[in-house]
A and B are shown apart, each in its own frame.
Chain A
């Protein structure tokens, strides 16, 4: 945060925050969103289902890489839940995905978490990709990591949900702003931010 303050002057001079800054090593704003299909998933009601991007009919899709074990994800859950509720009738679908190869994060654990802890915490479909291919295709290296897709399934924003792990301290709401812009037929002012969170370790093939 201090860094924010220290660099405020510079930011004021230089264009919108993050404009032009690249963090994701694989995809960038404007890229076609990598497709995925048949990903085993758990619905908010605890039923086993599957996730296929092309099945999503909403105008805007928010793909978010998550992990049960990750405190940064847990810390963001309330915000994500609120966001999902607030936007579900506005043509926005939230899709949670996990690609971590650790027991705490695999599908049985996701199912248990949704069943045990679904006290309003998880109200989006939560899938698990054991191949990790989806995470790699999106260049996701930590959780939570967000990707906002438009109607054409082009990536229009990628990065963090907001600018602080503590909700009360958040002053910039990147995902919401990007979604609002798209719903209004505009381009997000900020297209990429640096996502922070627990690292995703990809298995070496």
Chain B
């Protein structure tokens, strides 16, 4: 059950590339891809410095719909970052495929992904199990305690999510009175 998966490629140099930049700081340093284990990733979600919510977009370099929709993530970061939304891209590329990692970094730079960019440092395919999804792209909204509050997936062919739906959810939650 486990792994098998999906899509793509590889590995890693990036691990040491950079410290976790603040997800919602457009002035963050150079765009980097950091490798985190699932445990480290969960810890990161629960420590997002004051962000009201954290939006995580699971993608991979071989996922055409993921790359096609990536600009929506960048837009949401620009639009809702100042209002308390932290954004994280989570690559499920193979952490042992250096070619894929280089491609992911190139893509993130091209898209001006000035938020936290993570490559899951787990066995290839394990991310699907960890996230309990069958396909990507998939988007998750986490509360400040790191707990998932909403997910958007492609798992039901008759009810696949759109990024418009994601934005509506984000806008509604950020504008809701505390």
On whether the two chains bind one another, the answer is yes
B residues contacting the other copy or chain, number (CB 8 A): 33
**Is the beta-carbon distance between B64 and A196 smaller than 8 angstroms?**
no
**Is the beta-carbon distance between B7 and A136 smaller than 8 angstroms?**
no
CB neighbours of A194 from chain B (8 A): 1, 128-129, 134
User: Of A69, A142, A163, which contacts B2 at CB under 8 A?
Assistant: A163
Q: Mark A71-107, 1 if CB is under 8 A from B, else 0.
A: 1100000000000000000000000000000101000
Which of A18-26, A44-52, A113-121, A177-185 contacts its partner?
Answer: A18-26
**Is the beta-carbon distance between A141 and B62 smaller than 8 angstroms?**
no
**Is the beta-carbon distance between A165 and B6 smaller than 8 angstroms?**
yes
CB neighbours of A163 from chain B (8 A): 1-4
Q: B158 near A: Cβ within 8 Å?
A: yes
Q: A140 near B: Cβ within 8 Å?
A: yes
Q: Mark A124-139, 1 if CB is under 8 A from B, else 0.
A: 0000000000011001
**Is the beta-carbon distance between A196 and B156 smaller than 8 angstroms?**
no
The CA-CA distance from A1 to B128 in the complex, in Å, is 12
Which of B23-31, B118-126, B143-151, B166-174 contacts its partner?
Answer: B118-126
CB neighbours of B62 from chain A (8 A): 69-71, 198
The CA-CA distance from A162 to B63 in the complex, in Å, is 21
Q: Smallest Cβ distance from B11 to chain A, in angstroms?
A: 14
* A-B pairs with beta carbons under 8 Å apart, 21 shown: A1-B2, A4-B1, A17-B1, A23-B134, A23-B155, A26-B158, A70-B7, A71-B6, A102-B64, A135-B157, A139-B157, A142-B135, A162-B4, A164-B4, A196-B5, A196-B6, A197-B5, A198-B64, A199-B134, A201-B160, A202-B160
